Structure 1
């Protein structure tokens, strides 16, 4: 548990720092494409890590390889990239009070950031609810003889369609100069996919749902990343603000099990779970229309 907490602490800190470099160094018209490559790297990392743990020598060898990749992946950026240094006189004093105050950004003063954060949180929560219990859905509802292999197949289908749209969606958004329609459309596609899991409870239905979830989440991942960089309140706080935005990715992974378990056990089972996931994702997609400063 201690090791996992340290992994989360350090990798999320690194992720916040590297993503803060995007609004610092990348022109606004190219951020969708960059967001697509960031999203593709995350998905490839998950696939490669799973392969290392399951195929290439087991869990111990997999974790050792992941540790090596963390160092090797960071070195090119650290050694070859030079951040412009902020003069010492312009650096704000670092105090505990300032650090604690940084965990709050007033949604009243910065409503666009507040709505964008809530959009990301809800769509990620809907996606997490949809994926969390796939193993038990295949076992208990579809009665698959080998649910573990079924999850692997669905994960592969999801990854392929996600990788097929994550960069294309970002490039397309850059080309037309708009973000909201893509986030809204991606959320609607993901809602439809989750609805399939509730209404078409067959193996072909699960395959179609996995493919659609990949399409929707791929577009959402790249375009929402670009949108987030365009609603940041101030250039001086981008690293801290991107860290807070990353909470909207991590928190749904914690909240989803707490919400899903009572729904499956007491409030209608898997059909109700996927209906709730669809409703949550759709609400998040619709809330993107509340953002005024980004088209």
Structure 2
């Protein structure tokens, strides 16, 4: 067991490359296990189990899973904050999350009806969020401030590749059962190197914070920098979610692209490619300069520019250009904003729980986006107004980052 000093102390020693690689590969496993079902398998399964109500079945399963995701991340983050195992406070939940997620995926593979499918997917969401919460909290536990942009960049690379690997495994496996089994095997194999490193800090029982349900509310009055960081992330993610929710219909009804399904795939691939170009470089440069806010500001404005392009140039060329620009901006944002967030956490004793609360700013926009987008598209100006609203959210999130005072 590698103990890296007092569990609640700020880390000062640089993390080795092997740890950064291992935690990134584990994160790749999480996102592969998430997006294999989300991109491919759940839709096929809904069609198989409820051929005459597949849309409603998929919406029910995905919506319930999203609710469990929003609950699970801060809950398991708080539990890991209070874990006094001799193996550390994060690794036990990494293992439990991987094994529980694998069990949920196995149940999905044999689900005989929509009810079992729903329960199984909620188990997957709950347990993978336990693992994700532990992995995320391990970064401020282990990595000093001057490395967090770089580590955040590698985690961003893993997240992006996880969407591609998950979709590819699910599509290439040749069936529902084989697809779920492929995701299970990849998840467990990707988690093993990180767990075997056994790099975690042990929390002494005397340092364990008491359990208090009220602690899940973090007062923006008492912790204004945390509140502003949450709000900026929420606004930028809300703009991004609104931009994506009707992308297929935008290509079909506004751009009149002949193959909108294929068009979405092409735009997603372009976005992922340009994101990978900047996600790591942005984090490393931010570490070296010791600055975060200017990177978040500029990247948010670039994201907003992509939305303006979609509003003003509703053509296939405009959409391709916007996808490339969006990836460039969101790549820098992904790594640097994560590093910034780890530097405004209110207390070392609650890193896992607080990062879980931050992650609600990622999940909640996915729930709100359809409700905001639908009336705009149908009654309030259509797609030009929709994408200008996206840009407005992006600009607001970017500018408000300068309300954070404790980070440069």
- Normalising by structure 1, we get a TM-score of 0.95
Q: CA offset at residue 93 of structure 1? A: 3.6
CA gap 1:275/1:181 in 2 versus in 1, 3 angstroms = same
Q: What's the CA shift string for 1:149-198, capped at 9, x where partnerless?
A: 11111001000000110000001111111000000000000000000110
Aligned with residue 32 of structure 1, among 140, 144, 149:
149
Matching of residue 254 in structure 1 with residue 355 in structure 2: no
In the TM superposition, what are the counterparts of 1:147-226 in structure 2 within 5 Å? 147-226=260-339
Shift in Å at residue 290 of structure 1? 0.4
1:57 is the counterpart of 2:174: yes
Please give the alpha-carbon distance, in whole angstroms, between the structure 2 residues aligned to 1:59 and 1:142. Answer: 34
Write out the 4+ residue segments of structure 1 that deviate beyond 6 Å after TM superposition. Answer: none
Which residue does 2:189 correspond to in 1?
72
- Give the structure 1 partner of residue 226 of structure 2: 113
Aligned position for 1:139:
252
**Does structure 1 retain, via aligned residues, the 8 Å contact 2:170–2:183?**
no
Deviation at 1:65, TM superposition (A): 1.6
Alignment partner of 1:272 out of 370, 373, 385:
385
Query: How far did 1:75 drift?
Result: 2.1
User: How far does residue 4 in structure 1 lie from its aligned partner after superposition?
Assistant: 2.5
Q: CA offset at residue 215 of structure 1?
A: 0.5
- 187, 200, 203: which is aligned to 1:83? 200
Aligned to 2:136: 19
> Which shifted more, 214-223 or 1-10?
1-10
- Cα distance between partner residues in 2 of 1:179 and 1:159: 23
Query: Counterpart of 2:399?
Result: 286
Instruction: Indicate how the Cα distance of structure 1 residues 214 and 23 shifts in structure 2: closer, same or farther if over 3 A, else same.
Output: same
Task: Give unpaired runs (5+ residues) of structure 2.
Answer: 1-117
Q: Is residue 48 of structure 1 aligned with residue 154 of structure 2?
A: no
Write the distance in 1 (CA, Å) between the matches of 2:295 and 2:156: 15
* Root mean square deviation, CA, Å: 1.3
| Structure 1 residue ranges without an equivalent (≥5) | none
1:3 aligns with one of 120, 123, 141: 120
Determine whether 1:229 maps to 2:342.
yes
The Cα of 1:59 is off from its aligned counterpart by 4.6
Post-superposition offset of 1:62: 2.7
Deviations 1:39-75 (A, max 9, x none): 1100000111112233442454333222222222222
Distance in 2 (alpha carbons) for counterparts of 1:38 and 1:251 = 21
- Separation in structure 2 between the aligned mates of residue 278 and residue 141 of structure 1, nearest angstrom: 18
Distance 1:263 1:67 in 2: 40
* Residues paired across the two proteins, number: 291
Q: CA deviation at 1:266?
A: 1.6
Give the Cα separation in 1 of the matches to 2:173 and 2:270: 21
Question: 69-78 or 241-250: which moved more?
Answer: 69-78
The answer to whether the Cα contact below 8 Å between 2:236 and 2:394 also exists between their aligned partners in 1 is yes
Q: Which residue of 1 is the match for residue 93 of structure 2? A: none
State whether residues 53 and 60 of structure 1, in contact with CA within 8 Å, keep that contact through their aligned partners in structure 2: no
Distance 2:183 2:359 in 1: 21
Q: Give yes or no for contact 1:52–1:61 (8 Å, CA) kept in 2.
A: no
Report if aligned partners of 2:283, 2:335 keep a CA contact under 8 Å in 1.
yes
Tell me the residue number matched to 1:125.
238
* Offset of residue 289 of structure 1: 0.7
Whole-angstrom distance in 2 between the partners of 1:43 and 1:58: 24
